[in-house]
A and B are shown apart, each in its own frame.
Chain A
Amino acid sequence: MFDFLDGYDVLGAFWMTVKLTALSAVGSLIWGTLLAAMRVSPVPLMRGFGTVYVNVVRNIPLTVIILFSSLGLADIFGMTMGSDDFAVQGFRLAVLSLVGYTAAFVCEAIRSGINTVPMGQAEAARAIGLSFSQTLTLIVLPQAFRSVIGPLANVLIALTKNTTVAAAIGVAEAAYLMKTMIENEAQTLLIGAVFAFGFVVLTLPTGLFLGWVSKRLAVKR
């Protein structure tokens, strides 16, 4: 029944999806936290930059960003991302685009988490003489992170699904393989089911696990 899978590296394609997701998740968590710190900082210029970045990037389709990274950054500006290999280049450009895009959503999630931290916490921190960066990194962010695991899990799941857009620049992940298979094989329905199942397997446990974690870690107030 599943003979049509012969000759296709389905697991390899999903492994690519996982790699894209993991690298982009780490990158966007770092960049998104920095953006969130900028957006709440006392320096108006940084706040302005953060606001503009988030609002601009959120309103551009990810497809446009990823395609631009390939046709614009790589072809025109010659940004090779430290590799001559076309496949590696595509992968790194896709990660770069996904980080840039997802960070905007991570930033918004963390910012909403910062708003859940009670005023008194920061006031107490300032009262014992902590500076802005100390207040943020020692008092506010740790509490904010614990309260936004749920929303961040949503961003992570959306990121997992968004990695399929990398197929647009030829990164050999799941959607790319599905497109090839669906064009060459007759069992459209079964192929669709296999790939749909793959994504359910990737996203469902993530959602359930992080949902459980967010309940465990939520700051009880």
Chain B
Amino acid sequence: MSSVLYDTPGPRAKRRNVLLSVVFTVLLALLVWWVWQKMDEKDQLTSALWKPFTESEAWTTYLLPGLENTLKAAALSMVIALPLGAVFGIARLSDHRWVRGAAGTVVEFFRAIPVLLLMLFANEFYARSTDVTSEDRPLYAVVTGLVLYNASVLAEVVRAGILSLPKGQTEAAYAIGLRKGQTMTSILLPQAVTAMLPAIVSQLVVIVKDTALGGVMLGFPELLNSRGTLAANYANVIPSFIVVAVMFIVLNFILTSFASWLERYLRRSKRSTGAVLGVEKVDDLNAAEVGGSYGTGAGGGGI
């Protein structure tokens, strides 16, 4: 066991590490004990508060429908944002300056403003200017907000994917007489999509997390919102928060693991000539130019 920062420990270092471990364990144990004590003091550990989660009613009435809505909003946003993002990503690479400029402005603008503002605005817009029913409105608003933001993030991902391809791909396509559009749709885009699949999957985590905003601010009945209804019924604020947090963690952990598995799989299978864009890349890509020079403007990681 050694790394950049330390050698394989010798006898003295081993003793010191053991000592540090003990001190850290004690501190951690104290913290856990304090939390436990506090929870006991406020009667949060009584089995009555946890019992609802062992019965099917809490799940079938509150948590699972909430989860379903979370997943529905996330899936819808992804499905709409992806083609939109592809269009804007390609438009940013256009040969025509006005197309490039317009697409760039739109992408930079929607990346610079918070999703919550987009959702609030969309909600009010739908209420005033369209005849979307009030039951559907929160879903529409949440999806609109998420689509606008994530389409612009995905546009950057698509652009990075296309730019990561070797120049020879385009040249070969022109050499066999393909037109610009054909080169893009049948040569570059398929390879770029493969290269950026892991980044796209990990963007889903950001989308899933952002649906919770709709639950609090717009009354969209997703997981976090259902937690409120559930806690109002069983008066178990802390347990319900813990259960919902665990559900989010598990869901997102599955997505993250799938993304890294996909990355490894694509690296191994070597079917494309382009580099695979790593899962970690997606945060950087949000504001970064390809090639690692940062600060093209207001982006900010999708965190």
Q: Mark A residues whose CB is within 8 Å of B.
A: 40-46, 49, 55-56, 58-64, 67-68, 71-72, 75-78, 102, 105, 108, 112, 114-115, 117, 119, 121-122, 126, 132, 135-136, 140, 149-151, 153-162, 164-165, 167-168, 174-175, 178-179, 182-183, 188, 192, 195-196, 199-200, 203-204, 206-212, 214-215
Contacts and interface: CB of A to CB of B under 8 A. Distances in A.
Given A64-B224, A112-B280, A43 B21 contact: yes
Contacts of B109: 196, 200
Nearest to B120: A179
B303 A199 contact: no
Nearest to A204: B298
B190 interface: no
Looking at chain A's contact residues, the main secondary structure is: helix
Contacts of A119: 4
B286 interface: yes
B5 A60 contact: no
Interface stretch (B61-69, B111-119, B161-169): B111-119
A49 B24 contact: yes
25 contacts: A56-B249, A59-B253, A61-B210, A61-B212, A61-B213, A62-B212, A64-B241, A64-B244, A64-B248, A77-B42, A117-B4, A122-B4, A132-B6, A135-B6, A154-B283, A155-B301, A158-B286, A160-B300, A161-B113, A165-B213, A175-B114, A203-B300, A207-B300, A208-B297, A215-B293
Interface in B268-303: 280, 283-284, 286-288, 292-303
Contact of B217 (A40, A168, A188): A168
B48 interface: no
B17 interface: yes
B36 interface: no
B301 A105 contact: yes
Contacts of B302: 158
Contacts of B117: 164, 174-175, 178, 192, 195-196, 199
A130 B1 CA distance: 19
Given A117-B4, A204-B112, A60 B245 contact: yes
B250 to A, nearest CB: 8
A161 B114 contact: yes
Contacts of A67: 216, 224, 241
B212 A63 contact: yes
A130 to B, nearest CB: 10
B294 A153 contact: yes
A85 to B, nearest CB: 23
A131 B128 CA distance: 65
A64 B21 contact: no
Contact of A150 (B3, B115, B288, B303): B288
Contacts of A135: 5-6
Interface string B116-148: 110011001100100000000000000000000
B183 interface: no
Nearest to A186: B128
Contacts of A121: 4
A63 B216 contact: yes
B287 A157 contact: yes
Given A55-B253, A132-B5, 4 more contacts: A61-B224, A126-B6, A200-B113, A207-B300
A167 B5 CA distance: 42
Nearest to B116: A164
B106 interface: no
A124 to B, nearest CB: 11
A126 B7 contact: yes
B303 A158 contact: yes
B20 interface: yes
Nearest to A182: B124
A195 B114 CA distance: 10
B114 A199 contact: yes
B284 A59 contact: no
A140 B256 contact: no
Contacts of B107: none
Nearest to B115: A161
Given A105-B283, A182-B120, A211 B295 contact: yes
A164 to B, nearest CB: 4
B114 A77 contact: no
Contacts of A78: 42
Interface centre among A78, A168, A210 (most CB of B within 10 A): A168
B38 interface: yes
Given A61-B209, A175-B120, A207 B20 contact: no
Nearest to B252: A59
Contacts of A206: 298
Nearest to B121: A192
B235 to A, nearest CB: 10
Contact of A42 (B6, B113, B205, B299): B6
Interface in B1-35: 1, 3-7, 9, 13, 17, 20-21, 24-25, 28
